[in-house]
Amino acid sequence: MALNDTEGERLLAEVAARRAALVELTQQMVRVPTLNPPGRLYGEFCEMLRDRLAREGWQVTLLRANGAPGDSDAHPRWNLIARTDGARPGETVHFNSHHDVVPVGDGWTRDPFGGELEGGRLYGRGSCDMKGGLATSIIAAEAFRAACPEFAGAIEISSVADEESGGFAGAAWLAEQGWFAPDRVQHVIIPEPLHKDRICLGHRGVWWAEITTHGRIAHGCMPFLGESAIGHMGEVLHEIETALLPALAARRTAMPVIPEGARASTLNLNAIHGGEPEQAADYTGLPTPCVADRCRIVLDRRFLAEEELTEVKAEIRALMERVRAGRNGFRYEIRDMMEVHPSMTDRDAPVVRAVAAGIAQVFGRPADYVASPGTYDQKHVDRIGGLKNVIAYGPGVLDLAHQPDEWIGVEDMMDSARVMGLALGEVLVRH
């Protein structure tokens, strides 16, 4: 297994010869504003990429996630899968990227869709997260194929919709259709911007829930005739602050989550609302005096591989029951909004060892192993696709994702292309 010295040198030369092509491909991608929401120009992006890949001899399939969440004729959810086969049968390595980008936001000093190149940085919304990673995986695969045309197996590239909004019309949909079934794909690398010398083994779990407390409306000048849903919620918040949060902070995971603070279990109060609906900003009148009959919070609970989702939910339910026991007339409900199970790939998994070998060779030091505080499409490959041999590895600085003046370093992409090419050699070349 792995490349011999001549093949290794040939691979690095093939990567080096593609620097301009890598920059140009990334710029082409950044210049299509595939904004999500609402899911703009996915079709145009996939067609542009299909033409580019077909010219280089890839077999390309475009797939619309018909009827999946978010899919409509105005904003169809298009996905792309490309494949190139080696000279002999063997395993398939699949690079999975997403083409949607988050809204631009304020604070830019560059054209967010210009693809400007300056000082070795390529700027634009989605350059780092993660069109740069997608372009890098394509260039790595093409350089590998040129260096080792006799390779065994196949390489696939996917570019999918909606990762930023849960991936249900993208990676999840492809997984449901069997595209990640372990009998057709054996290794998946997701080029999210986790840094060029780090392997991301997985991510924490998520539970989003909405809790509503109920009261009884009355005139605000006689609050004793009503019952305040806000007062009830105040007690819930007190219980969360004083009992639940310290308990969560004390729970530590063996997952190598970065940043360090996210190695505990966490809870964010994402939203709160009680009483009369908020008025439009241009409304100049006063509110009317009412006792709040409803109060609602949205919880964003991130949990660890060591925790079970059923226990996570039961813990909140028990907290609500404690509050109820101490308050007359306390009524509440909990609504599930979204759940994601944690995903964690073994350090000894073949795809981890292949990428680690590439990192060691390019940087002359061992890879760092991390896990992500938030989720990405790994959950769908793992939980729906049933493939455990999956990681995130790609160029870029995670902190720049979703920020103004987002950029990706050209040298970082080149280094990652070297690592990806060497990793392909680990899996697809047999002597």
In the complex, least distance from residue 56 CB atom to Zn ion, rounded to whole angstroms: 24
In the complex, least distance from residue 128 CB atom to Zn ion, rounded to whole angstroms: 9
Q: Which is nearer to Zn ion, 18 or 203 (CB)?
A: 203
Site pattern 65..104 for Zn ion (x: CB under 5 A):
----------------------------------------
Using DSSP's 3-state secondary structure scheme, residue 115 falls into: coil
Please spell the DSSP secondary structure of 26-63, one letter per residue. Answer: HHHHHTS--BTTTTTTHHHHHHHHHHHHHHTT-EEEEE
In the complex, least distance from residue 98 CB atom to Zn ion, rounded to whole angstroms: 6
Cα of first residue to Cα of last residue in the chain, in angstroms, is 6
In the complex, least distance from residue 222 CB atom to Zn ion, rounded to whole angstroms: 53
In sequence order, what E strands does 180-261 have? 187-190, 198-203, 205-214
Return the bridge partners of 21, or none: none
Q: Which is nearer to Zn ion, 188 or 211 (CB)?
A: 188
Q: Which is nearer to Zn ion, 192 or 307 (CB)?
A: 192
Which residues in the 30-69 window bind Zn ion by CB under 5 A?
Answer: none
How far apart are alpha carbons 164 and 130 in whole angstroms?
A: 11
Residues contacting Zn ion: total by CB under 5 A: 3
State the DSSP H helix or E strand holding residue 325, giving kind and residue range, or none if neither. helix 309-325
Which residues in the 223-252 window bind Zn ion by CB under 5 A?
Answer: none
In the complex, least distance from residue 184 CB atom to Zn ion, rounded to whole angstroms: 24
How far apart are alpha carbons 137 and 420 in whole angstroms?
A: 7
Return the bridge partners of 187, or none: 93
In the complex, least distance from residue 34 CB atom to Zn ion, rounded to whole angstroms: 12
DSSP state of 287: P
Return the exposure string of 231-259: e unless at least 16 CB atoms fall within 10 Å of the residue's CB, then b: bbbebbeebbeeebeeebeeeebebbbbe
In the complex, least distance from residue 189 CB atom to Zn ion, rounded to whole angstroms: 14
Q: Which is nearer to Zn ion, 167 or 342 (CB)?
A: 167
Q: Which is nearer to Zn ion, 215 or 394 (CB)?
A: 394
In the complex, least distance from residue 112 CB atom to Zn ion, rounded to whole angstroms: 16
In the complex, least distance from residue 28 CB atom to Zn ion, rounded to whole angstroms: 19
Question: In the chain, how long is the greatest CA-to-CA distance?
Answer: 86
Q: Which is nearer to Zn ion, 7 or 192 (CB)?
A: 192
Which residues in the 110-169 window bind Zn ion by CB under 5 A?
Answer: 129-130
Q: Which two tokens mark 373?
A: 């505080």
How far apart are alpha carbons 3 and 426 in whole angstroms?
A: 7
Q: Which two tokens mark 229?
A: 């849903």
DSSP state of 253: -
The pair phi, psi for residue 337, each rounded to 5°, is -110, -45
How far apart are alpha carbons 123 and 12 in whole angstroms?
A: 26
* CB 395, CB 415: distance < 8 Å: yes
How far apart are alpha carbons 407 and 120 in whole angstroms?
A: 10
Q: Which is nearer to Zn ion, 126 or 274 (CB)?
A: 126
Q: Which is nearer to Zn ion, 192 or 406 (CB)?
A: 192
Residue nearest to Zn ion (CB): 129
In the complex, least distance from residue 377 CB atom to Zn ion, rounded to whole angstroms: 8
Which residues in the 177-206 window bind Zn ion by CB under 5 A?
Answer: 192
Q: Which residues bind Zn ion (CB under 5 A)?
A: 129-130, 192
